[in-house]
Amino acid sequence: MGRKKKNKSPLKSPTAAAAAATPVAAEAVDIITGKASLEYYFDPSLILKENQGTIGRQPLKNGAGSSTKTPDLSSKYLFVPCTIIKPLDEENSQKSTGKVDGQPFPGPTLVKTIDGVLHKISDSTKLIPVTAPDDHEGVHDVLNLPQISEASLLHTLRIRYARNDIYTSAGPILISINPYVTVKQADGQSIYCEERMLLYRNRTDYTTGPKNPHLFLVADRAYKALMDSVHSSTEMDHLEDEDAVMMLEYHKPPGTVRNQSIIISGESGAGKTEATKIIMAYLARITKRDSKASYNPDGSMIATLEDRVLSSNPLLETFGNAQTLRNDNSSRFGKYIHIYFSTVTGAITGASISNYLLEKTRITSQVDGERNYHVFYQLLASADQEMFHDFGLQGGASSFNFLGHRITGNDIADQEGFKQTMACLAEIGVSPEDQRALFRTVAGVLHLGNIKFEEHDDPSESFTESIGKCRVSDESRPSLRKACELLGLDEAKLEDAILTKVIVINGKSIKKAQTVPMAEDKRDALAKMTYSCLFLWLVHHINLSLNQASEQTKSIQKDQMGCIGVLDIYGFETFDVNGYEQLLINYCNEKLQSHFNRHLFEVEQKLYSDEGVDWSYITFNDNSPCLELIEGGNGIIGILNTLDDAWGGMGTAAEKDSKFAAHLHRLFGKSSELDTSKDSVSRRSHYKHFITPKIGLDKNFIIKHYAGEVCYNVDGFVEKNMETLSRELKDLGDSSSNPFLKAVYSTAGVEVQCSTAQRSSIRGSSVSWQFRASLQTLVSDLERTQPHYIRCIKPNNSKLPGAFAAADILKQLKYSGMMEAIRIRREGYALREEHETFYKRFSLLLGYDKIKKGEKGIVELVRVLSGLLCVTDADWQIGHSKIFTSGKTPHFSTNRYLDPISTSHASLLSLSQRSKSVIGYVKDVEATQNVLADEKKRSFDSGSAAASACILDCAKDS
C-alpha cells in the first residue's frame, strides 16, 4: 500500500508548532492584605521532614520529625491551591526583596493552602502553577482546561464534587464520582427524576438542553447514535461532546444498524451498579409507549417489557450482590445486558443478560465485616411464619455457618429488599409455587453449611483401613435431615456422596473414604453447585421473560432491530491476600483496558490518517505483554495454561499448588532471564510483568498489571480452576425428588469435568478456560459496537458523603487510563467537527462584505477565526470532512469563546437585514454589547478578549 497523501492545506500539525509558552501562575487576592499573589498546586511530598504537620493553625495529626507522609495529608491537601509566603533561608530572603509577591524559590519555602494552614516545603519551584481562572471554576469538560495536568484535573473534580456536580466529561468519557448520598437539584428533586430525563431527551441541540455532564447524556447519545445509524439526523452535535470513537468509520452502507455499547468500569464501591440501573431506567422511560394491557391465564396482568427489563437488575443484585468492606452493594459477578430496540418505532423489543464469574467462595465463607449474598439475609428477615417453620430458619443468621454465625443488623433494609425481590419475581413471571421452591433451595444451602464431620474409627476394620475416615457428627444430623428435606435428596445417598469418593482404576470403580477436610470440601462443593446453578436458572428465566414478544414486536424484522449493550463488570481488585478469583477479575480488567486503549488511542491515529491530517505517532501504555503473560500467545505459554497443566500428576491439592508456583518462577522468574535461547529472548518483554517475591515464593507470585502490582497466593488455585463436580455429587443432583431443583440443575447444564485423574491437562474444560472463552466472546461483541465509556470513581474508602480522598482518586484516574486518554486527546486534536456543521456555526464571522465577495470557503473561515482568537495555523487542521482543533494551547477553547461571539455577531448581521425599528435596533445592539462585555470581563484569554473586542467594535460601528 502506498503512502497516504497528505492534506494540501497550508495549516500545520500541532507537532510542528513551537512549544507552548511556560505557564504563568494565576493571581489570587489575599483576603487579609488585599494584595494579588500567584497561586500554585500544593504538593504534600515537598513538605520538610521536620515539619510533617503544619506550623499554622489546625496542625495535622502527624508530628514533627516523622519520616513518612500520612494518607490523611495527601488526601486532604494533594494539589489544593496554595500561595507562597516567603523563603525560609537567609540567602533567598535577601534575594526576595523587591520581587513580586508569590514568586517561587529554589530552597525551603513557607506556603499557605487555601484553608489558611501554613506548611514548610523543600522547594517551591517544584510546585505546579495554577495558570487560569478556569482552574477554579470546575469546568464541565476537563479537556477545556487551559493547561491540563494531574493537578488541574484533580482540583477540577474536587471543586465539582464539593458542589454536588458528580459527573464530569473528559471529551468522550464520563467521569462519575460516587456521592454516597442522594443528590438533589435546587428545587429539591432528584437529579434522576423523570422531569430531568425528559429535559435530556427533548433537547433539540446542545444549546437548548441541559449542558451538565450526566449519565442521561451518555445513554441518550448511545440511543441517538443507534437510531441515527439508520435514520440520518440533521441535529447539530456539539463539538466538545463528539466522541473520537464515534468518528470511526464502520464501513457499513447507509441505513445499516450500528449497535452501541456503554462500558461502565471502576473499583468496587465506585457506583457501577447504580450507574447501570440509572441508564436502564432512562432508556426504558424515553422509549416507553402506551400499549394495550396483557393478562396471564389466571387473570393477572403481565408486566410491560420495560418494567420487566427494570426488574431484572434488583433480582440479580439480590442473588449476586453482597456487602463488602468497600461497598454495601458490591456486584460479585459481571453482567452484560443487551437491550434491543426497534429502529422503526424506537421502542424496546427485548433484552438478554450474559453473566460472568459469580464469586462462589462467598457462598461458604466471608471475611469479618462482609456478608454473604443479599438473598440469605432477606429471607431470614422477612419470611412468613410458615416459611420460618418449614425452612428451619428459627435460629436466625447467627445460627448458620455459611453466614459466619454473625448478626448483620440490617433487618429493615433486608425486609425492604425482600419485598422488592418478591415483586420483581412476579414481574418476570415466576409463579408463587416456583418462588417458594426457590427460597426452599436457598434455605437448603444454609443447612448444608451446618453439617459437621468428625473422625470415625470402625472397630470392624483394620487400623490402616479405618485411619482418616470420618462421619457426620450426631449434633449436626438434624441439619443433614433438613437440607435433604428442602433439596429433595435422599439422606443416605447424600451422606455417602460426601463421605466417599469413587475412583475408577482399570475400568473398576472403587470407593475411597474421605477425611474430615475432604468431606468439608465436598459439602462446600455441593452448596456452591446448588447456589450457582440457582443463579444461572434465574438468569435463564429472566432472559425468557425479556424475550417474550408482544403483539407490537412480533412483526419486527431482524434487520429492523438494534442493540445497546450495558456492561457492568467487576473492577480491578487488590487485597492483603489475593487468590484465584482476583487473578481472573484482574485478567478481565486487563482485557477491557486493552479494548479501551484500542478505541481511544489507536482509533485516534486511524482517524487522522483517514482524514489526511498530518500527525506524529502518539504512544500509549500498551498492556499486551501483560495479557500474553496471563493468557498465553506470542511464543509464551501463559499463566492460565500453566495452571491447567498443573492438574495432572500425583499429590494433594496443596502440593499441586506449590508445584504450580515453582513452575511459574522457573518459566517467568529471574532465573528464566538467564536463558539465552532464541525462544526465551522473544519472550523477554513479558518477564518484566512477572515478579518473583523475595519471601514466600513457594506460595506467591506477583504480576505487574496496568493498574499496579498484585501479589497472588496460590492456595486453592488448582482445585478452584478444576472445580470438579464428582460423579457422586452430579448423580445426587439428578436424583432430587424436587422438580424445581431438577430443573435448576438441568437449566444450568452442569457438566462433570475431569472425572478421572489420568488426564494430564484440563485445557478446554477448566474454569479459567471457560472464563477466557466467555471473555473473548464479550470483547468480540464490544468490538462490533460503537462504545461509550463511563469511568466510576470511589471518593473514599469509608463510604462517607463529601469526603474527597485526593490521593486515592488520582490513583484510580491513572489506573482507569484516564490520564492517558486525556493526554492523547490534548497531544493530538482534542476537538473536531464536520465541515458543514462548523461552517454553519461560524460562517457569519466572515463578515457581510467577504461573504458578498465570495470569500466564504472553510479555509478562509479558519484564517479569519485564527486572527480573531490570536492563534496560529498550528492550532487547526482541515481534514477531508472535518475540522480539527488542537487542545494543546492554553489560551484556546473554541466552543467556550467562539459560540457566544458567533451568536452575537449573527444577531447583528440578522439585525441589519430585518430591523425596522430604531428602538428595537438600539436594544439589540445594547444587548449584544452587554453579552460581549460580560464575556470579555470573565475571560482571561487574550485571544478571546481580542475577538470579543473586535465584534464589540463591529457592533458600535453598526
Q: What are all long-range contacts of 205-209, with beta carbons under 8 Å and residues at least 24 apart?
A: 205/235, 205/236, 205/238, 206/236, 206/237, 206/238, 206/241, 207/899
Percentage, residues of the chain above pLDDT 70: 72
* Least confident span in 655-669, 794-808, 915-929: 915-929
Tell me if 270 is assigned to a ligand binding site.
yes
Dihedral angle over CA of 765, 766, 770, 772, nearest 10? -130
At residue 718's C-alpha, the angle toward residues 573 and 516, to 5°, is 105
Helix (H) or strand (E) segment spanning residue 592: helix 580-597
Dihedral angle over CA of 518, 520, 524, 530, nearest 10? 90
Helix (H) or strand (E) segment spanning residue 590: helix 580-597
Question: Where is pLDDT greater, at 24 or 326?
Answer: 326
Q: What is the CATH number of domain 829-896?
A: 3.30.70.1590
**Residue 6 — very low, low, confident or very high, per pLDDT cuts 50/70/90?**
very low
Instruction: For residue 529, give the amino acid letter.
Output: M
In the prediction, which pLDDT does 267 show? Answer: 86
Q: Say yes or no to pLDDT of 149 above 60.
A: yes
Question: Where is pLDDT greater, at 323 or 686?
Answer: 323
Q: Say yes or no to pLDDT of 381 above 80.
A: yes
pLDDT tens per residue across span 129-142:
887 777 788 999 98
Q: How many residues does the chain have?
A: 958
Instruction: For residue 341, give the amino acid letter.
Output: F
Q: Say yes or no to pLDDT of 388 above 80.
A: yes
Counting Cα atoms < 13 Å in the Cβ hemisphere of 853 gives 7
Rounded to two decimals, what is the model's pTM?
0.81
What average pLDDT does this structure show over 940-952?
A: 44
In the prediction, which pLDDT does 504 show? Answer: 72
Please name the residue that has the C-alpha cell 488511542.
601
Q: Say yes or no to pLDDT of 12 above 50.
A: no
Using CA atoms, how far apart are residues 583 and 768, in angstroms rounded to an integer?
10
In the prediction, which pLDDT does 259 show? Answer: 95
Q: How far is CA 932 from CA 395, 655, 894, 899, in A?
A: 73, 77, 16, 11
Tell me if 805 is assigned to a ligand binding site.
no
Answer for the pair 450, 476: CB distance below 8 angstroms, yes or no: yes
Q: How far is CA 805 from CA 76, 159, 795, 799, 815, in A?
A: 7, 13, 6, 11, 16
Tell me if 156 is assigned to a ligand binding site.
no
Q: Say yes or no to pLDDT of 72 above 90.
A: no
pLDDT tens per residue across span 576-634:
899 999 999 999 999 998 898 888 777 777 788 888 887 766 666 788 999 999 999 88
Helix (H) or strand (E) segment spanning residue 719: helix 717-722
Please name the residue that has the C-alpha cell 427460597.
439
Using CA atoms, how far apart are residues 718 and 720, in angstroms rounded to an integer?
6
853 phi/psi in degrees, rounded to 5: -80, -5
Using CA atoms, how far apart are residues 245 and 259, in angstroms rounded to an integer?
13
* Least confident span in 60-69, 275-284, 426-435, 861-870: 60-69
Tell me if 271 is assigned to a ligand binding site.
yes
Answer for the pair 373, 365: CB distance below 8 angstroms, yes or no: no
In the chain, where are the structural domains located?
A: 30-44+73-87+105-131, 139-208+795-828, 829-896, 901-955
Tell me if 268 is assigned to a ligand binding site.
yes
